[in-house]
């Protein structure tokens, strides 16, 4: 019956048109297959992320070079509002395969600040002034308490590392306020925050010409 069907089509003169239709259908199927592959991958990734739950709406996140607040989580994509107010749509497949840094998953987050003081300054006094300043800030957690230590001896300054814990939702406010208060406290204590300095050595002795009229 199959052979007779195709022979009948051949005798009727429409076998060529049928072949063209089958070829077109095959090409269309390939195109739809590739398109559906991306949709299916995003769909499956969205299901995995639903059970894994690395993100929640309202979380502050960092994904690669992108950073902002999660606005919406959908089955095919996730939308993030960047700090400059722009909307970023990330396909779930790409999001699922990326390193996701959730900045607000835990209630407390550490603030890290580095500041340089002059080599002539009293290091112990500077550490004491900074700790006192942090302890006076109401949003800096008492447990774990602030830590201040000498990190390294830089080219122009003694570098102090400052670490304190704050509520995750107020992390940025605490950091900016801490930098301002520490700068003011060190100025009042007479502890210098030096400019970058360089010492230049010359192979030959420099000669200076003095103008007698001046």
Residue 165's pLDDT band, with cuts at 50, 70 and 90, is: very high
Q: What is the mean pLDDT of residues 122-138?
A: 94
Residue 25's SS3 state is: helix
Q: Which residue has the tokens 């639903």?
A: 50
Residue 10, pLDDT score: 63
Cα 118 to Cα 156: distance, rounded to the nearest angstrom? 7
Q: What is the mean pLDDT of residues 124-153?
A: 94
pLDDT tens-place string over residues 84-129? 989 999 888 888 888 888 888 889 999 999 999 999 999 999 999 9
pLDDT tens-place string over residues 17-68? 555 555 555 666 556 565 566 777 777 877 877 777 888 888 889 988 888 9
Count of alpha carbons within 13 Å of 21, Cβ hemisphere only?
Answer: 5
Average pLDDT, rounded, for the chain: 83
Residue 161, pLDDT score: 96
Burial category of 192 from C-beta neighbours within 10 Å (exposed 0-12, middle 13-18, buried 19 and up): middle
Name the helix (H) or strand (E) containing 186.
helix 171-188
Q: Which residue has the tokens 């019956």?
A: 1
Distances in Å between the Cα of 157 and the Cα atoms of 69, 76, 166 are 37, 51, 28
Residue 23, pLDDT score: 58
Checking if the pLDDT of 160 tops 90, the result is: yes
Beta bridge mates, 149: 161
């Amino acid at each position: 019956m199959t052979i007779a069907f195709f022979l009948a089509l051949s005798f009727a003169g429409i076998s060529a048109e049928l072949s063209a239709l089958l070829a077109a259908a095959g090409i269309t199927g390939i195109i739809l297959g590739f398109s559906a592959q991306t949709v299916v991958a995003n769909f499956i990734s969205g299901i995995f992320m639903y059970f894994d739950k690395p993100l929640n709406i309202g979380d502050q996140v960092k994904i690669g070079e992108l950073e902002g607040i999660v606005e919406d989580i959908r089955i095919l994509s996730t939308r993030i509002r960047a700090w400059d107010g722009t909307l970023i749509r990330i396909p779930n497949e790409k999001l699922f395969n990326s390193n996701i840094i959730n900045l607000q998953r835990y209630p407390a987050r550490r603030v890290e600040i580095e500041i340089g003081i002059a080599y002539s300054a009293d290091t112990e006094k500077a550490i004491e002034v900074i700790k006192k300043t942090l302890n006076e800030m109401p949003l800096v957690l008492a447990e774990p308490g602030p830590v201040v230590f000498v990190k390294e001896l830089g080219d122009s300054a003694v570098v102090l590392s400052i670490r304190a814990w704050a509520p995750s939702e107020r992390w940025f406010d605490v950091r900016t306020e801490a930098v301002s208060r520490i700068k003011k406290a060190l100025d009042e204590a007479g502890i210098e925050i030096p400019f970058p300095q360089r010492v230049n050595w010359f192979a030959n002795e420099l000669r200076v010409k003095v103008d007698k009229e001046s």
